[in-house]
Amino acid sequence: MIWSNESPSDTRRFKELYDTFTDNMINNNSEQMVKISTRNNKILYLFLTNISNQVHETKTLPGSGTSYHDIVFHEIKVKRGRIKQNPRQVKLYNKAIWFDLKKDFFPNTFITHKHNDPNHL
């Protein structure tokens, strides 16, 4: 495959396999992002995407150690998948006016009368 213009090469052995692969690329709107040679003027690595506008840069770096292949580097814009939570209400009980709260919940008759029977009140 000649990736610079995305056309099949003339000396391919597995024609049906190449055709199926390119058909799948077209059906999925995929594009090959590595268009720079990685070894001896050939492209050996695939990086297919259907959102090519998110790929900012694709370049090769020299191979490390005894590797004959160049390293392919991609810079991609990725959105984090964190869901934004709605703000929640936090009650500050230490700032409550407890005297007024007791007065609202418990009428004066309940506080002032000393009864042993709760059903009486």
Q: Which residue has the higher pLDDT, 84 or 1?
A: 84
Q: What's this model's pTM, rounded to 2 decimal places?
A: 0.48
Q: What is the mean pLDDT of residues 4-21?
A: 71
Q: Which residue has the higher pLDDT, 116 or 96?
A: 96
Q: What is the mean pLDDT of the chain?
A: 76
Confidence of residue 114 (pLDDT cuts 50, 70, 90): low
Domain boundaries, the chain: 15-76
Closest CA to 121 of 110, 112, 107: 110
Residue type, 96: A
d(CA 109, CA 9): 97
